[in-house]
């Protein structure tokens, strides 16, 4: 890693750990909970404060860098030139509110649209997933192994039940056979953690019909570094400036899911 990225990485790790400590400090406090687009789309004062914490630090230390953040305190981006931090201050807000676990801080740092560093920090378990393009992925400093090929019959697939019941984005019958054929299914409610779990081998695949760039920016770098494959559900590259369906899987399994269930 060159000096430029070493400096960025040092600051980023420091801010992520500090943000984690700030989130933990709020566990004893009363949250201010609001809804955004619907009754299930929640935001708290903590989501907002943590995003502002990152942005204030980035603006002060790296004034040329730009920020894309879920809660809207960053820049309005129409292109990805230069260095862009793509931040989800709390991924899994519903879990944060209801469970005080199963959420993460997600930070992806991109240069000219290319994912350079990804961090996913599971605050409660103090697990920091980290990847730097070309140097591998790590969990709390321990290098993650490259992902081996697998098949659906031996896989645990993370998928929300929404996508196999009547919904606006996909016919419920498309993915139902996949749920039957998999060894097991899970749903954790944090896209970032689900991608980190694929990268670390705890899950074999993750499928969802609607994610925003801050949900997957860090996970994309992480999964790519261990040889996993990330596309939309139709096998196309993800758009970092819009919403996407997302299919994350081990090699072999990614192809099997596309060919046997999606394109059949």
Half-sphere exposure of 243 (CA within 13 A, CB side): 5
Q: Which among ligand IPD, Ca ion, none contacts residue 256 (Cβ within 5 to 8 A by kind)?
A: none
204 sits near Ca ion (criterion: CB under 5 A)? no
- Rounded CA-CA distance 98/180 in Å is 29
Instruction: Look at the chain and count its residues.
Output: 264
**Beta-carbon neighbour count of residue 1 at 10 Å?**
14
State yes or no: residue 122 binds ligand IPD (CB under 6 A).
Answer: no
What order do you get walking across the sheet with 136-139 strand by strand? 66-69, 83-91, 104-111, 114-122, 127-132, 136-139, 142-143
Query: Which residues from 171-200 bind ligand IPD, rule CB under 6 A?
Result: 189-191
Write each residue from 67 to 106 as x if it is in contact with ligand IPD (CB under 6 A), else as -, in one continuous string.
---x-----------------x--xxx-------------
For ligand IPD, the closer of residues 61 and 99 by Cβ is 99
Q: Does 230 bind ligand IPD (CB under 6 A)?
A: no
Among positions 74, 86, 87, 88, the unique one binding Ca ion when judged by CB under 5 A? 88
Give the H or E element holding residue 244. Answer: strand 244-249
Residues near 65 by beta carbon (within 8 Å), at least 6 away in sequence = 58, 82, 83, 84, 85
Cβ at position 81, least distance to ligand IPD in Å: 26
Judged by the rule CB under 6 A, the positions of this chain that interact with ligand IPD are 70, 88, 91-93, 189-191, 208, 210-211, 215
Annotated binding-site members for Mg(2+): 70, 88, 90-91, 215
Judged by the rule CB under 5 A, the positions of this chain that interact with Ca ion are 70, 88, 90-91, 215
């Amino acid at each position: 890693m060159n000096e430029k990225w070493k400096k960025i990485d040092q600051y980023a790790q420091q801010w992520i750990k500090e943000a984690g400590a700030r989130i933990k400090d709020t566990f004893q406090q009363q949250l201010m909970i609001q809804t955004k687009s619907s009754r299930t789309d929640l935001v708290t004062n903590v989501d907002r404060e943590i995003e502002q914490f990152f942005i204030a630090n980035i603006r002060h230390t790296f004034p040329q860098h730009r920020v894309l953040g879920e809660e809207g305190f960053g820049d309005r981006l129409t292109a990805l030139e230069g260095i862009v931090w793509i931040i989800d201050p709390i991924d899994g807000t519903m879990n944060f509110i209801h469970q005080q676990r199963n959420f993460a801080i997600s930070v992806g740092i991109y240069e000219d649209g290319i994912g350079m560093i990804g961090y996913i920090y599971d605050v409660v378990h103090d697990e920091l997933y980290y990847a730097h393009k070309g140097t591998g992925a790590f969990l709390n400093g321990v290098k993650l192994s490259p992902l081996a090929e697998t098949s659906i019959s031996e896989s645990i697939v993370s998928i929300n039940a929404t996508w196999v019941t009547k919904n606006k984005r996909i016919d419920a019958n498309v993915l139902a056979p996949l749920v039957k054929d998999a060894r097991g299914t899970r749903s954790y409610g944090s896209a970032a953690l689900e991608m980190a779990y694929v990268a670390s081998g705890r899950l074999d695949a993750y499928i969802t019909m609607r994610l925003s760039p801050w949900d997957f920016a860090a996970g994309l770098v992480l999964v790519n570094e261990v040889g996993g494959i990330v596309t939309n559900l139709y096998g196309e590259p993800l758009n970092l400036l819009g919403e996407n369906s997302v299919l994350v899987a081990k090699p072999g399994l990614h192809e099997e899911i596309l060919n046997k269930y999606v394109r059949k």
